[in-house]
Amino acid sequence: MNKTTPSMLSRVAENLYWMARYLERAENSARLLDVYVNRTLEIAPGAALRDARLRRLLRSLDLPDPDRIDSDQLVHSLTFDAAYEGSILFNLSIARDNAHHVREQLSSEMWLQINSLYLDVRRKDKVAVWADEPHEFYMHVKEGAHLFQGITDATMNHNQGWHFIQIGRYMERLISLLTFLRAQVVEHIDGTRTSDQPSEGYFELVALLKSVSAFEAFCKVYNPEMQPSWIAEFLLFNAEFPRSARFCIDTLFGSFGALADSTMRPKSLRVNRLAGRLQSTFSFDEIDEVIRQGVTDYLYGIKHQAIQIHDSLFDAYISYSVEAALG
């Protein structure tokens, strides 16, 4: 038997990467929609308030702000409209298409899970979802994505392919977290946002943490007296919370190192250097300083670096030029 590590096709790496990114994106949408729908149920806000929240939700998903908003219609589209870029179904179908193309590289359990999650959402009786408890539906999507991650870790060789999945997942998580912070947290810190209803400040912040599944984890570290700057600190710099920016970049950096080893590339590859630089930023920066200098600019700078890392990943492993590769 030939036991050398076989080389991996760039196309396969690309499919695995995008599969993980789009699945993470679907989960992200499900979380944000779940919290939005729930908040709307709890207190029936005025139409203006609801629209403002919905616009914030769209910005959190990096989706364009429409001129007119039809709340129910929009929530429905964001969930079930396969043609609406950014909807849960849209993201799941792209994730599943990518998986389909590299089905040979996945464990059969992985394919089964991602395919049935997609088919479940597609075939869902929409009327029943809205009539009953939409929360259950969004939970199903979140759990489905978590299950896929667990199955992936438990059934797939932790080889190059697995690292590309990790990279896709944490790259998407990092970028969507930065988008979310800009759309929802900055205004609390700047004080430019007066609470929807004066007494609601606390609930706003709780909802905010719940949107990134961070409420419980946050309360274990900080006392429950919410401060917007603590939330920003936690989501950016906490090394242990698996949805923090710091955690994302740590994981990315680790996987880039493993990739360079298994493809016999130098550790000094550009993508590794960029990731290392971002990692040290997160290790040493302090929230007070960030706030003094302006959170929006800071987040913008980080996102720019994340995109550079994505580009240099592709330059190194996937879409390199023939001339450079043979040079």
Partner 1 sequence: MSVEQSSDLFRDYPFDHPHYDEMFAAGGAPRRHYDELYERLINHQAGELQYRQQASDLNFLNQGITFTVYGDEQGTERTFPFDLLPRIITHQEWETVEAGLTQRIIALNMFLHDVYHEGLIFRDKVVPYELIATSRHYRREMRGVDVPRRAYVSICGTDLVRVEDGRFCVLEDNLRVPSGVSYMLANRQVAKNVFPRLFANYGVRPIDQYGQALLTTLRSLAPPLDDLSIVLLTPGVFNSAYYEHAFLARQMGIQLVEGRDLVTHDSFVYMRTTSGLKRVDVIYRRIDDDFIDPLAFTNSSTLGVNGLFNAYRAGNVVLANSIGTGIADDKAVYAYVPAIIRYYLGEDAILDNIETFLLEDDLQRAHVLANLDKLVVKAVGESGGYGMLIGPHSTRQQQAEFAEQIQAHPRNYIAQPTLSLSTAPCFIDNRITPRHVDLRPYILFGERVTIVPGGLTRVALKEGSLVVNSSQGGGSKDTWVLYE
- The smaller minimum CB distance to partner 1, of residues 119 and 239, is found at 119
- The smaller minimum CB distance to partner 1, of residues 55 and 101, is found at 101
Q: SS3 of 51, please? A: helix
Q: Which residues contact 42 (CB under 8 A, 6 or more apart)?
A: none
- The smaller minimum CB distance to partner 1, of residues 61 and 309, is found at 309
Burial of 263 (0-12, 13-18, 19+ CB in 10 A): middle
Spatial contact of 169 and 192, defined as CB atoms under 8 Å apart? no
Rounded to an integer, what is the distance from CA 251 to the centroid of its chain?
A: 14
Q: At its nearest, how many Å lie between partner 1 and the CB of residue 319?
A: 9
Q: At its nearest, how many Å lie between partner 1 and the CB of residue 14?
A: 10
Q: Which residue pairs from 195-200 have beta carbons closer than 8 angstroms and sit at least 24 positions apart in sequence? A: 196/45, 196/49, 196/52, 196/53, 197/45, 197/49
Q: For residue 60, give both structure tokens.
A: 């959190």
Q: At its nearest, how many Å lie between partner 1 and the CB of residue 36?
A: 30
- The smaller minimum CB distance to partner 1, of residues 171 and 236, is found at 171
Q: At its nearest, how many Å lie between partner 1 and the CB of residue 269?
A: 12
- The smaller minimum CB distance to partner 1, of residues 8 and 209, is found at 8
**Binding region for partner 1 (CB under 8 A):** 2, 6-11, 13, 100-101, 103-104, 108, 119, 160, 259, 263-265, 317-318, 320, 322, 325-326
- The smaller minimum CB distance to partner 1, of residues 120 and 187, is found at 120
Q: What is the DSSP string of 158-205?
A: SSHHHHHHHHHHHHHHHHHHHHHIIIIIHHHHHT----SSGGGHHHHH
Q: At its nearest, how many Å lie between partner 1 and the CB of residue 254?
A: 17
Spatial contact of 110 and 45, defined as CB atoms under 8 Å apart? no
Q: At its nearest, how many Å lie between partner 1 and the CB of residue 119?
A: 7
